[in-house]
């Protein structure tokens, strides 16, 4: 089978028009992991789903027999889709969608190994994109390497942003060189250049880029840059700023870096967690962003409103999501507008 690039497909940017958003419902399979906040997690997922559904249709993937619970907690505006799953991080285990110049949409299934086999089992999550493709009746491409959606951003014009700590980690693709991974990204996401950053230390993902950055538009990236020199990520953030400013994108543009200083910590079930304000999802016309329930939230939301002046910024609780290992971006996956390729 040809690759997406050979067939004229590429991954569009998140800020482009969506026909829907996919999420995955917190499951009893991971009850020991979520405990003692599983019920709270379901409430927060439902709140995120309703926030997204105010901008675009929302499909909630859930285990067989859980559609009624999804309906009860999320409301009638959310469409449940029963597919066997192990976990609830649709950005990472779910499909990634690509489009062509005629507006056709196809699906790419990357290998999913639960962030380097950190959480077992993961076989149902690994198979979930194939089930989604069958449900939608959309063409599916099978990429021969490990990738999680939260480890990448694209600008839709040939540039992909990622961190070295994930795709190059020996628990992901130990037999592939940097050049081979870049070639695979070109083949399956239609990109021309990869810009590599250094990730912040992360318990679950080894350092996804969606915890520290977000593409705003082609050539412009907002990057977490804490002001406090005592912050564990202060020096790393400065190195990333310098690196980006010295880089160009696939079209030869110098990258503009927008600093994002607000940070906040809260406690969930006795665990100190940082709220990843930039781990936000961009539905049609909106920004769904996590908050801590602290005064710092006001500064963060105001800064997001400056960065995305044409979008409505909506806050959702971030503490439980951070306890689980992410934020709104980690639990969502956009489906770009267009007709499904068969």
Number of Cβ within a 10 Å radius of residue 230: 6
At 232 the pLDDT is 86
Number of Cβ within a 10 Å radius of residue 240: 24
pLDDT band at residue 230 under the 50/70/90 scheme: confident
Task: Please state which CATH class domain 18-340 belongs to.
Answer: alpha beta
Interatomic CA distance for residues 191 and 175, integer angstroms = 22
Whether residue 315 has pLDDT greater than 80: yes
Interatomic CA distance for residues 312 and 309, integer angstroms = 8
Which pTM was predicted?
0.97
pLDDT band at residue 27 under the 50/70/90 scheme: confident
For residue 14, the 8-state DSSP code is T
Interatomic CA distance for residues 166 and 114, integer angstroms = 12
pLDDT band at residue 93 under the 50/70/90 scheme: very high
Whether residue 330 lies in the annotated active site: yes
At 40 the pLDDT is 96
**Residues in contact with 72: Cβ distance below 8 Å, sequence separation at least 6, in sequence order:** none
Minimal CA–CA distance to 289: which of 181, 183, 214? 214
Interatomic CA distance for residues 196 and 256, integer angstroms = 15
% of the chain with per-residue pLDDT over 90: 93
Q: Which residue bears the tokens 């998140």?
A: 14
Catalytic residue among 21, 166, 280, 330: 330
Domain locations along the chain: 18-340
Average pLDDT over all residues of the chain: 96
Task: Compute the residue count for the chain.
Answer: 342
């Amino acid at each position: 089978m040809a690759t997406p690039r050979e067939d004229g497909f590429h991954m569009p940017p998140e800020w482009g028009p969506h026909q829907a958003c996919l999420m995955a419902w917190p499951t009893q399979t991971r009850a020991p992991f979520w405990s003692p906040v599983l019920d709270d997690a379901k409430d927060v997922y439902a709140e995120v789903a309703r926030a997204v559904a105010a901008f675009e249709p929302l499909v909630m993937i859930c285990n067989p027999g859980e559609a009624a619970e999804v309906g009860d907690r999320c409301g009638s505006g959310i469409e449940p889709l029963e597919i066997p799953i192990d976990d609830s991080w649709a950005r990472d285990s779910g499909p990634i969608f690509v489009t062509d110049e005629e507006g056709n949409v196809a699906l790419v299934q990357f290998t999913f190994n639960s962030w380097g086999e950190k959480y077992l089992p993961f076989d149902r999550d690994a198979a979930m994109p194939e089930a989604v493709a069958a449900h939608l009746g959309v063409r599916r491409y099978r990429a021969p390497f490990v990738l999680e959606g939260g480890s990448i951003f694209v600008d839709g014009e040939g540039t992909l942003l990622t961190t070295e700590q994930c795709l190059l980690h020996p628990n992901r693709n130990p037999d592939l060189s940097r050049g081979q991974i870049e070639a695979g990204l070109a083949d399956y996401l239609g990109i021309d250049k990869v810009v590599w950053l250094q990730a912040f230390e992360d318990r679950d993902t080894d350092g996804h880029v969606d915890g520290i950055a977000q593409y705003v538009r082609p050539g412009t990236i907002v990057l977490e840059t804490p002001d406090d020199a005592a912050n564990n990520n202060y020096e790393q953030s400065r190195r990333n700023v310098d690196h980006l400013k010295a880089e160009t994108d696939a079209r030869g543009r110098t990258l503009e870096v927008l600093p994002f200083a607000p940070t906040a910590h809260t406690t969930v079930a006795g665990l100190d967690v940082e709220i990843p304000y930039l781990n936000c999802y961009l539905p049609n016309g909106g920004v769904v962003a996590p908050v801590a329930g602290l005064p710092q939230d006001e500064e963060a939301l105001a800064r997001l409103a400056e960065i995305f002046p044409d979008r409505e910024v909506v806050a959702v609780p971030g503490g439980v999501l951070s306890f689980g290992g992410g934020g709104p971006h980690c639990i969502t996956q956009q489906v770009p507008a267009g007709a499904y390729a068969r």
